[in-house]
Amino acid sequence: MAKDLVSNKRRVHFEPDNVDIVVEQGTNLLEAAINAGVRIYASCGGAGTCGTCKVKIEKGEVETTRTRKVSDEEFQQGIRQACQSRVLTDLTAYVLVESRLEKAVLSREDRKISEALATGWRLKSPLSKFFVELPPPTIEDNVSDLSRLLRGLKQRYNLSNMSVDFDVVKKLSKTLRDSDWKVTVSTLVTAARPRTGDTHRPRLINVEPGDTRNKYYSLAIDIGTTTVCGQLLDLNRGKVIAESIEYNGQISYGADVITRIAYCQRPGGLKKLQQVVVATINEVIDTLLAKSQVNVRHIGHVIVAGNPTMTQILLGLDPKYLRLAPYTPAANFIPPVEASSLGIKVKKRVYLFAFPSVASYVGGDIVSGIVAAGVHQRKALTLFIDMGTNGEIVVGNSDWMATASCSAGPAFEGGGIKHGMVAISGAIEKFSIDPLNLEPEIGTVGGEKPKGICGSGLINIIAGLLEVGVIGQNGKFNADLPSRRIREGNEGYEYVLVWTSETQINKDIVITETDIDNLMRAKAAMYAGCQTLARSVGVKNSDFEQVIIAGAFGSHLDIEKAITIGLFPDLPRDRFIFIGNGSLLGARLTSFSVDLLDDARRVAQMMTNLELSENVDFMNNYIAALFLPHTNAAEFPSVQKKLDRLAKDKVKRGAMV
Amino acid sequence: MAKDLVSNKRRVHFEPDNVDIVVEQGTNLLEAAINAGVRIYASCGGAGTCGTCKVKIEKGEVETTRTRKVSDEEFQQGIRQACQSRVLTDLTAYVLVESRLEKAVLSREDRKISEALATGWRLKSPLSKFFVELPPPTIEDNVSDLSRLLRGLKQRYNLSNMSVDFDVVKKLSKTLRDSDWKVTVSTLVTAARPRTGDTHRPRLINVEPGDTRNKYYSLAIDIGTTTVCGQLLDLNRGKVIAESIEYNGQISYGADVITRIAYCQRPGGLKKLQQVVVATINEVIDTLLAKSQVNVRHIGHVIVAGNPTMTQILLGLDPKYLRLAPYTPAANFIPPVEASSLGIKVKKRVYLFAFPSVASYVGGDIVSGIVAAGVHQRKALTLFIDMGTNGEIVVGNSDWMATASCSAGPAFEGGGIKHGMVAISGAIEKFSIDPLNLEPEIGTVGGEKPKGICGSGLINIIAGLLEVGVIGQNGKFNADLPSRRIREGNEGYEYVLVWTSETQINKDIVITETDIDNLMRAKAAMYAGCQTLARSVGVKNSDFEQVIIAGAFGSHLDIEKAITIGLFPDLPRDRFIFIGNGSLLGARLTSFSVDLLDDARRVAQMMTNLELSENVDFMNNYIAALFLPHTNAAEFPSVQKKLDRLAKDKVKRGAMV
């Protein structure tokens, strides 16, 4: 690596990715990593407060603003926060294993996801294909090419009153003649039952030579704050033929929607984040096409569901006002947009349909989940909880729905937790603890050596520690217990889950009192949200006939443990249903059935949003919920009974010892 | 001017424009002139057959393929056809005065154009503006920005069920806040009486800060084969506030639609011609804006009318199949197109509406003219004739209409005539002749020294020569008459209209037997077209209650002379009405009234096209019409009577001498 002495260009080499980038001297090291394509996690978006973007400087020099997120020991080893470092010389930087994003999410193939609960819909995609053979023009019958096509469609399929995209007109004459007057047209409808004078009339969006009816695909995409999940759908057979998931590239610009919105306020920030998520979507599409061997030109439409921030950024709509009181989205109903105009690598004339949203933090992902779960189809009073980076709650049934969003924070996805991480290989998700010797037993995603703790693991750990009394109902450690795993660390008391030698990260993996505190706040926000919303509509917990848990996270959750820590209400366990990624599921179903698109609009319109951010009840409920499971034991009778019994057992055991 | 000895770059200097261009050695001189922006006329599109693109090489050398269009004398003077010459060295080329296109068409301000004949329409533009003051969002009322806007429009104006352009959504949040929640929206409808489930529902196309209702303009544009005429309209007052006309830049690529279509078949040809006409439109717009002091951002829509070839080229639709049997247009009804996407210099979100057309050679210009003339509103049986570069004919009334197009050729616009030219300054348009000494009296456009003969001049001249017997009813010269003006030239007999010394072009301006032959063919095509169409629908000439003549050409025409040569049927003169540029008139009216847009669609749909190009009757009628006025004297009784009387007078005078 030759050093250029006369210029201020510096070459940065990243390990273990083995990629180089040349940057100006003084460039921020996190930006350099992002631009080099290094998959690095930066949950606070580069503010220096999360400590997740650590790298080890193996060669060369950086100028660093040191924060308390880097210990003395780490600092001496050359470990720095990339976001706080600027490049001085040519560098070699090693991205620590816990700072890396890995393409391993889908290794969790064992997901047990319920099928959709929505019923009664026809397999009738918004995208339809019609094949026609037209009589070639003669001097007696020389109507325009478009008139001929429309006449043929009317005669053969009784299709009429269509609007025609100009781009179709543009290539029509050539296509008709090249294909010897045998063509397949694609039409798009966005409603099954158009009202009079409605916008949802059939739209002629494409014309292809020959009979292509058997090649007829669409994409369903869930744009999550953390991950982008896509499915390639065969519309003829109503089947998923490939699935792919990638980290949302925006992760390097912040873990939650608030940091992303903040980033959009920088010059060029919105455009950058749009490009980044489009790049992720394109990666997902590449994988889907490679897996399925489908040609991209046979993809006829794209349905996306995401929260309002993700949706607005994708569409290039500044999300600024989503986070400023009084929290208004740009639009709840977005007109179909040509996907290629956003940079998505599909053909022209492929429209992207974004699920309608409800309010600033209640988005198309929730509407999609509700439709997939069929909440709108049943009289049963339902509590619907989507556990993403944000938590959204819906209460209602086929007659009415109320919704609220609570900023639980990123704890459920491992954010703000000392050894927190997303649920990829090496993340601790299973946990049990011997009540006698307080030794743990852990299980990781993919069975690898542990690297950190994911959200569901965190819940299992805290519930377990609570049950055996390692922590009290206030979330504080019982430091008197006789276990070398309970100790005082830099940030107060902690429990050692894994000793250094058994980890991938060369240090003890611990859970700290601060971590427990963070998770308690997150679960308190979720629970208080449910409580506040339910009470605002005059409903008690016991009224809920079903509780539907959505979110990729949801499907790995131990319901008993989640109730134990006070995350979900204390109801009979058989009322709980997991539907996994409800957002993706709804996107898929609506791609199969235009009936459900009607439902989605109806659902978005029927939902009443309760704004929690300035709600006094919510604040009171939140404070009351900052306890395990709750300050009001009567809210969690079965949990309290269990904890009392376990405590009694312990006393008994103590007496026996 | 330094000559670059090592490269093959050559500098060409054009006079009298005084512009230079550097081209590769071997470049076609016509192309060089076009690229240099020199306004040169090339009616055959560079095929070498018309002889209109002559230049005089004053310095340097060209390599020329000589055709019979350049006389020996001209050749010795250094005169060459630009299209047949290739650049060898640095050059100075003088564009002959008769080859120049001048920006002088509008100097003919004395045009007497009838006002529109259409009646009963409301002043209700397809483009509407609505001002709303919205309540700013609060925490209790934080619906999305778009919902707020739509709610406000519903409350204030009872507007509902609109479709919303995505671009409006894109800028909405910022516009609302920047304007303190006071905005003006623009909506577009393309029908006054939308049918159920129709495409013509209101479309929200723009949102502007503040109250801009008083700034509310549109453009009406007639795209002719020869000229592009535009008007800037004030939609609040229903007035034309500026008018502009330019040569269609495509003239340099051929005088008629056939040569233009042929040019489109070259690589890049379609794109080139599209750019050229868009450049002309932009010139027209520049002039309109400069004259009116209107800001371009207040132009809300554009309505264009043109023949199918002009329309398809403007929209980038290959016109190839218009001229190939069985002659099919790409589409008769074109969806609205964003004008800026075609390169037209208006703001984004300004839609261009192209008049619907009927058949390959019966276009939006005719539909527009019919609507303007109100033919569809009256029971009176009407013959409508549009005299453009092509001739189009409509027969019908409010119940039915039949149409045909006949390729009259460019003679009516001066094409294919030895000294023919379009009707600009210096063109001979008035003509009378002394029956005794056969000396002419001429009048030119603008009163300048003559340069050539325009179409209406040609008709007047031929009628005059016929009346005094200089030519016979077969179009041949009576060479025995005692006048030095009748002489034998290179191309047979000719009559000298102006002697060299009185011209601008330094040569005698003559009319030749070939010219007369060309005009006879043109008028025969028009008349045979009328006859064939009328007979095909069972109508006699005398059934016509009115004859409407449209076309810029039409308004300068002497109706008596036109009947004398057999161009129009021999009907009482008071049945003839000139409406001038009917295409532009219709575009203007529909811009004022969406009622007339409905009419336009209805007219386009009710017209039955009769294809003349392979019609045996037409061929017979055409042959029979190759006489002055016609081989069947009974078709033109008043003319025959007049000619007989004049001949008798002459014999009498001869007896007296």
- CA pair distance B243, B540, nearest whole angstrom: 39
Mean pLDDT across the stretch B519-526? 94
List the single residue in A with minimal CA-CA distance to B161.
A198
| B571 or A421, higher pLDDT | B571
Residue B164 has pLDDT above 80, yes or no: yes
Q: Which residues of A touch B329 (CB under 8 A)?
A: 144-145
**A147, A166, A605, A606, best to mutate vs chain B, most B CBs in 10 Å:** A166
B197 and A194: CB-CB below 8 Å?
A: yes
Q: Which residues of B touch A165 (CB under 8 A)?
A: 335
- CA pair distance B348, B345, nearest whole angstrom: 9
Which among B163, B198, B359 is the nearest to A142, CB-wise? B359
Residue B45 has pLDDT above 80, yes or no: no
Q: Which residues of A touch B148 (CB under 8 A)?
A: 328
Instruction: Give tens-digit pLDDT for A422-475.
Output: 777 899 999 999 999 999 999 998 889 999 998 889 999 999 999 999 999 999
A326 and B138: CB-CB below 8 Å?
A: yes
Residue A202, pLDDT score: 81
Residue A595, pLDDT score: 87
- CA pair distance A562, A35, nearest whole angstrom: 39
- CA pair distance B257, B250, nearest whole angstrom: 10
| Alpha-carbon gap: A59 to the closest alpha carbon of chain B (Å) | 47
A197 and B201: CB-CB below 8 Å?
A: yes
- Return the biggest CA–CA distance within chain A: 106
| B68 or B561, higher pLDDT | B561
| B508 or A101, higher pLDDT | B508
Residue type, B105: V
The sign one gets for the Cα dihedral A129, A135, A141, A142 is: positive
**B166, B348, B403, B601, best to mutate vs chain A, most A CBs in 10 Å:** B166
Both tokens of residue A180? 């010897």
| Alpha-carbon gap: B199 to the closest alpha carbon of chain A (Å) | 6
Instruction: Give tens-digit pLDDT for B456-473.
Output: 899 999 999 999 999 999
Residue B554 has pLDDT above 70, yes or no: no
Residue B539 has pLDDT above 90, yes or no: yes
| Alpha-carbon gap: B164 to the closest alpha carbon of chain A (Å) | 7
Instruction: Give tens-digit pLDDT for A199-215.
Output: 457 889 999 999 999 99
B161 and A337: CB-CB below 8 Å?
A: no
Residue B4, pLDDT score: 47
Task: Please count the other Cβ atoms lying within 10 Å of the Cβ belonging to residue A654.
Answer: 8
Residue B76, pLDDT score: 92
Which among A161, A317, A334 is the nearest to B197, CB-wise? A161
Q: Which residues of B touch A339 (CB under 8 A)?
A: none
Q: Which residues of chain A have pLDDT under 70?
A: 1-6, 101-116, 193-200, 552-556, 655-657
**A134, A142, A144, best to mutate vs chain B, most B CBs in 10 Å:** A144
Which among B146, B315, B316 is the nearest to A330, CB-wise? B146
| B541 or B201, higher pLDDT | B541
Which among A142, A329, A611 is the nearest to B144, CB-wise? A329
| Alpha-carbon gap: A193 to the closest alpha carbon of chain B (Å) | 11
Residue A656, pLDDT score: 62
List the single residue in B with minimal CA-CA distance to A165.
B335
Beta bridge partners of B243: B231
Both tokens of residue B59? 């310095």
Are the beta carbons of B47 and B33 closer than 8 angstroms? no
Which alpha helices (H) appear in B158-205, and where do they start and end? 166-178
List the single residue in B with minimal CA-CA distance to A312.
B170
Which among A177, A197, A609 is the nearest to B196, CB-wise? A197
- CA pair distance B239, B650, nearest whole angstrom: 53
Are the beta carbons of A256 and A390 closer than 8 angstroms? yes
| Alpha-carbon gap: B147 to the closest alpha carbon of chain A (Å) | 7
Q: Which residues of B touch A328 (CB under 8 A)?
A: 137, 142-145, 148, 173
Residue B105 has pLDDT above 50, yes or no: no
**A148, A173, A175, A264, best to mutate vs chain B, most B CBs in 10 Å:** A173
Going by their DSSP bridges, the two strands A91-95 and A54-59 should be labelled as antiparallel
Q: Which residues of B touch A270 (CB under 8 A)?
A: none
Residue A414, pLDDT score: 78
Are the beta carbons of A218 and A300 closer than 8 angstroms? yes
The segment with the largest mean pLDDT, out of A553-562, B277-286, B354-363, is B277-286
Residue B345 has pLDDT above 90, yes or no: yes
Q: Which residues of A touch B359 (CB under 8 A)?
A: 142, 144
Q: Which domains does chain A have, with CATH numbers?
A: 9-100 (3.10.20.30), 127-209 (3.10.20.880), 217-354 (3.30.420.480), 369-409+539-639 (no CATH), 411-519 (no CATH)
CA proximity to B342, closest of B257, B453, B221: B221
Q: What are φ and ψ of residue B19, in 5° steps?
A: -125, 150
**B172, B307, B328, best to mutate vs chain A, most A CBs in 10 Å:** B328
- CA pair distance A127, A100, nearest whole angstrom: 40
Residue A193, pLDDT score: 65
Are the beta carbons of B238 and B591 closer than 8 angstroms? no
Which among B137, B169, B317 is the nearest to A317, CB-wise? B169
pTM, two decimals, is 0.79
B201 and A199: CB-CB below 8 Å?
A: yes
CA geometry: angle B449, B450, B455, nearest 5 deg: 145
- CA pair distance A556, A427, nearest whole angstrom: 12
Residue B109, pLDDT score: 36
A164 and B335: CB-CB below 8 Å?
A: yes
Look up residue B375 and give its DSSP letter.
G
Are the beta carbons of B218 and B127 closer than 8 angstroms? yes
CA proximity to A254, closest of A52, A526, A495, A80: A52
Residue B196 has pLDDT above 60, yes or no: no
Q: Which residues of B touch A311 (CB under 8 A)?
A: none
Mean pLDDT across the stretch B255-278? 93
Q: How far is residue A539 CA from its own chain's centroid?
A: 29
Which among B161, B197, B330 is the nearest to A201, CB-wise? B197
